[in-house]
Amino acid sequence: MCGRYTLKADGRSVAKLFDLAGESREFEIEPRYNIAPTQQVAVVLEDDARERELRMMRWGLIPFWADDPGIGSRMINARAETVAEKPSYRSAFKRRRCLIPADGFYEWKTEEGGKQPYHLRLKDGGPFGFAGLWETWSMEGGEELLSTTIVTTEPNEVAAEVHNRMPVILRPELYDVWLDPGNDERDELISMLSPYPADEMEAYPVSRRVNKPLNDGPGVISPIGG
């Protein structure tokens, strides 16, 4: 699974990577070192005119048919193997796909003495996009709540040393296909949900301070034991 991640990149870098349009190009992004479920996160999606925009959404998908928004806390990830069939995700997979900007994520490895957190990222340290889904849930009174989830897949060789799952990281050349709300080529979309090449990634242990979401400063990504 993916239960925490980072986004330290500035708004300009994010706007360039995801080719954002209009006001989204000026979106201010606060550096985050310990993003946790149920928090508001930056999400990239495409409108019907095929222009990309950045929206803030709650992390933890709330299906449009849900009676209680609390279900979202249990739906922070969607498995690539079943995302097209499961009732909770299939509608969003078909029409409401998104990218979630990040530049690293955390996983926990069971070691002697407890679970040790690791930070995983691209070797160049740059930002990238998780494959995600988003939904609109109607609140009492008519207000809408936007929510999102991260798609996960089998781990590559780097991630497998830490955990048995990893988030799907998409290359920029796949963004157009993934974001297109008019694309319903299921097999093509599913084929994109594969592990990112291990030779372009690295992982290192970090302090257990990351276990608490309130610890959201640069220190939580500092390597330990090196």
List active site positions. Answer: 2, 107
Find residue 57's DSSP bridge partners: 41
Residue carrying the six token digits 């302090």: 207
C-alpha to C-alpha distance for 180 and 143, rounded to whole angstroms: 26
Tokens standing for residue 123: 């070797």
Task: Phi first, then psi: give them for residue 113, nearest 5 degrees.
Answer: 100, 0
- Tell which residue, 49, 51, 59, 52, has the closest CA to residue 14: 52
C-alpha to C-alpha distance for 63 and 96, rounded to whole angstroms: 12
Which residues, in sequence order, are CB contacts of 171 under 8 Å at separation 6+?
none
What is the β-pairing status of strands 144-153 and 128-138? Answer: antiparallel
**Phi-psi sector, 105: left (phi>0), alpha (psi -120 to 50), beta:** beta
| Cβ-contact 80, 152 below 8 angstroms | yes
